[in-house]
Amino acid sequence: MNHLTGIQHLDSSQLNMLLDTAQRMKESGEDYAGSLEGQCVANLFFEPSTRTRFSFEVAEKRLGAHVLNFQESASSRQKGESMYDTLKTLAAIGVKAAVIRHSQNGLMDDLQERTGLALINAGTGNEEHPTQCLLDLLTIKQEFGCLRGLKVAIVGDIHHSRVARSNYYGLTKLGAKVYFAGPACLNQTGAGWVPRGCWYDFDELLEEMDVIMMLRIQHERHEQTLAMSKDEYHQQYGLTEERARRMKRGAIIMHPAPVNRDVELASTLVEAPQSRIFKQMENGVYVRMAVLYHLLCPAAQRQEQPVNKGGERHGTFVKAGLYA
């Protein structure tokens, strides 16, 4: 693996390899300290971000990398420099990997084989957000042991969500069944990547799902204003306290955040016992460490042994060593 541009092109063995590495890092992170010592990683965020940006920075520093945080407003991008030339410049001065968040679809595919850098997609357009998917998969796997046979509802602004798309790819590759729900005006007409037969009324799903994954309304990507108030959205499509009481016993609540409280889900549910929202954030550091480790560390290039292959087996994580 030379880049992480999306989940769509990874297979189940690669997904499990990254998840298993992340889990080992969570259990014994000190064993990996210094793995990237002396290597430079640049974070280029062209869209606002709190969780993803700082999660990557913490991951990079825990592995011992030198971290460069790119600021577009103080860069030669203001003089008309292209993204390609910016990345070639970073490669020329010794940077090994670039973490990129950008609003442009297709950007990563266009650049990945031309810059000499390992590229990591930190969220592009409405295409993919692979590390958010990995941290979601890790959170679910920690909860249930594996993903095969689980039922996951992804609810909300599906059309504009790169999280929904990456999670659909990741969940189905590991054997979970994915269901979608949300406002028809945001979803069925635009999310052409969703197979037919996957759309449901949210209330029909509540009592059967193992995971309820709510999505943020991506107002910044809407071409038109959503024709309903926040309260109307919450009552029609949000996870209200009443809907939460109908959830299956043992089911969990997830959200990629930031959360619009009392819109996508009731404020009281954000830190409820069923919520794994802050666990998702915690896991984000470890999956990003795992991605960086596999892209940049020579030892990781010797391929770690995947366990729970394909997600078939329920149970706890199994420790596996590196192949010599």
Dihedral class, residue 307 (left if φ above 0, else alpha if ψ from -120 to 50, else beta)? beta
What is the spatial distance between Cα 321 and Cα 21, in angstroms, rounded to a whole number? Answer: 10
Residue with token string 């309820």: 212
Q: Give the CA count within 13 Å in the CB-facing half-sphere of 111.
A: 29
Q: Tell me: is residue 273 an annotated ligand-binding position.
A: no
What is the spatial distance between Cα 224 and Cα 215, in angstroms, rounded to a whole number? Answer: 18
Q: Tell me: is residue 24 an annotated ligand-binding position.
A: no
Q: Cβ–Cβ contacts within 10 Å for residue 174, how many? A: 22
Q: Tell me: is residue 196 an annotated ligand-binding position.
A: no
CA distance readout (Å), 304 to 21, 233, 301: 8, 45, 8
What is the spatial distance between Cα 149 and Cα 159, in angstroms, rounded to a whole number? Answer: 25
Q: Tell me: is residue 52 an annotated ligand-binding position.
A: yes
Instruction: Tell me the two tokens of residue 54.
Output: 């700082």
The closest of 110, 99, 16, 23 to 61, measured between CA atoms, is: 99
How many degrees, rounded to 5, is the angle at CA 258 between CA 266 and CA 8?
110
Cβ pair 98, 118 in contact under 8 A:
yes
Q: Tell me: is residue 53 an annotated ligand-binding position.
A: no
Q: Tell me: is residue 258 an annotated ligand-binding position.
A: yes
96 by DSSP, 3-state: which? strand
Q: Give the CA count within 13 Å in the CB-facing half-sphere of 221.
A: 20
State the binding site.
Answer: 51-52, 79, 101, 129, 132, 162, 216, 257-258
Which amino acids are annotated as binding site for L-aspartate, given as ranges? 79, 162, 216
| Residue positions forming the annotated binding site for carbamoyl phosphate | 51-52, 101, 129, 132, 257-258
